[in-house]
Amino acid sequence: MSDNDRVLIAGAGPVGCSAALYLAQRGIPVTLVEAAATLPEDLRASTFHPPTLDMLDDLGVVDQLLEQGIVCPEWQYRDTREGVIANWDLGVLKDDTRHPYRIQCEQYKLTRIIIAELAKMDNVDVRFRVRATGTSQDEHGVTLSVEGPEGPEDLKGKYLIAADGASSVIRITQGIEFPGLTFPELWLCTSTEFKFEDHFEDLAPIAYIADPDFWFVFVRVPGLWRLLLPSRVGETAESLVTDETVQERMHQVCPKTGDYDTFHRTAYSVHQRVAETYRKGRVFLAGDAAHINNPLGGMGMNGGIHDAVNLSKKLVKVWNGEADDRVLDLYDAQRRPIAVDYVQKTTIRNKQMLEETDPDARKAKHDEMRAMVADPAKAREYLLQSSMITTLSEAEKIG
């Protein structure tokens, strides 16, 4: 084996970590570089959908995720005035997945679990504090330029997976466009130990609350409720995370005596963008480097892990001589349309539904949702889509 007989991966988020584990478990040497000194523990994804759990099960890490998360067989769509509109029971997917539920667990717990697994394997080289700065390639391999504690270095490999997040240096330096939009308003994410379940009747661990003036989302993670709230026009990231604003918004969600305790608070810009291609020769974009969307529906990380598994499967086939290089084009052909045609449209629609101001349109949407929940075949169809199972079966047909 020559020095460059390995796959290089930039970014130890959930996507880079999943790809590294998949490849390493199948005997492919991997170098994974992460710019941060330790695994980032920011307030981001917490919802793992059923097919993602099936994939993580195949990687041998789902039991550890289950131990550290909350099993949620149901999620809700509510309205501030009408209460529960739809209680979605994922149990109807029992014949479609080994995990007919969502797991609520912080994404950094998954990356911690995977990094610990990678540390046990001798064909994996994980390097923290090493930042990818650019890449070049020829017919034999790819070079990843990095900057680490020892200065600049060129790493060699056969292929490179760019899982370096939304601001991907690799996507930018490869000149791959990232068209789409950025919402004008910021979003605030905050967490608290306050027991909202004592104040909202029958509150499910994941609940999307529609309101024409002030929609919001409840998500449960172990020990905490997270709240996701939109900002008002003109609010800045700094003004949004002040005590005054955070308390005012949380009291708008649920008035109470005294201040809320809060554990985190973060203001985010929210984008809807898809890269114009997921492949440039030996370089592949995956996860947020390839597509970003608003978090309503929990599709960013889940879709990214689906990218990682789809791409890694194909790399294994090519590596083992079971398929030629052309199979790698299928990665873009199968995964990119899902981001463009399903994830972008669905997440934008989810936002529009929550903030709908026209009373007739709101009523029509609520009636439609109530009718779907009441009809088992329609409910299953809806949950196959919202759990991202349909996107995977549709992708399988492209080949």
Only segment of 11-19, 115-123, 249-257, 389-397 that touches ligand FAD (CB under 6 A):
11-19
- Contact between 16 and ligand FAD by CB under 6 A: the answer reads yes
- Which listed residue (22, 23, 29, 46) binds ligand FAD by CB under 6 A? 46
Q: How many degrees, rounded to 5, is the angle at CA 184 between CA 181 and CA 185?
A: 125
Whole-Å CA distances, 204 to 31, 120, 149, 182? 41, 38, 46, 30
User: Interface residues for ligand FAD in 178-217 (CB under 6 A)?
Assistant: 189
Only segment of 45-53, 249-257, 309-317, 344-352 that touches ligand FAD (CB under 6 A):
45-53
Q: Which residue's CB is nearer to ligand FAD, number 292 or number 328?
A: 292
Q: Which residue's CB is nearer to ligand FAD, number 33 or number 392?
A: 33
- Contact between 45 and ligand FAD by CB under 6 A: the answer reads yes
Q: Which two tokens stand for residue 242?
A: 């002040």
What is the separation of C-alpha 353 from the centre of its chain, rounded to a whole number of angstroms? 21
Work out how close the CB of 38 gets to ligand FAD at its nearest, in angstroms, rounded to a whole number: 10
As a whole number of angstroms, the distance between CA 117 and CA 109 comes to: 13
- Letters for 108-147 (x = contact with ligand FAD by CB under 6 A, - = none) are -----------------------xx---------------
Q: Which residue's CB is nearer to ligand FAD, number 13 or number 50?
A: 13
- Contact between 176 and ligand FAD by CB under 6 A: the answer reads no
Work out how close the CB of 225 gets to ligand FAD at its nearest, in angstroms, rounded to a whole number: 14
The DSSP line for 49-84 is: -HHHHHHHHHTT-HHHHHHHSEEESEEEEEETTTEE
CA-based torsion, 305, 311, 313, 315: positive or negative: negative
- Contact between 299 and ligand FAD by CB under 6 A: the answer reads yes
- Contact between 31 and ligand FAD by CB under 6 A: the answer reads no
Phi, psi of 81 (to 5 degrees): -95, -30
Q: Which two tokens stand for residue 99?
A: 């995990």
H-helix or E-strand spanning residue 251: helix 243-253
Neighbours of 384 (CB within 10 A): 20
Q: Which residue's CB is nearer to ligand FAD, number 100 or number 303?
A: 303
- Contact between 302 and ligand FAD by CB under 6 A: the answer reads yes
- Which listed residue (188, 304, 344, 373) binds ligand FAD by CB under 6 A? 304
Neighbours of 247 (CB within 10 A): 15
In the DSSP assignment, the letter for residue 132 is E
Chain residues that interact with ligand FAD, rule: CB under 6 A: 10-16, 33-36, 40, 44-47, 107, 131-132, 163-165, 169, 189, 228, 268, 287-288, 295, 298-302, 304
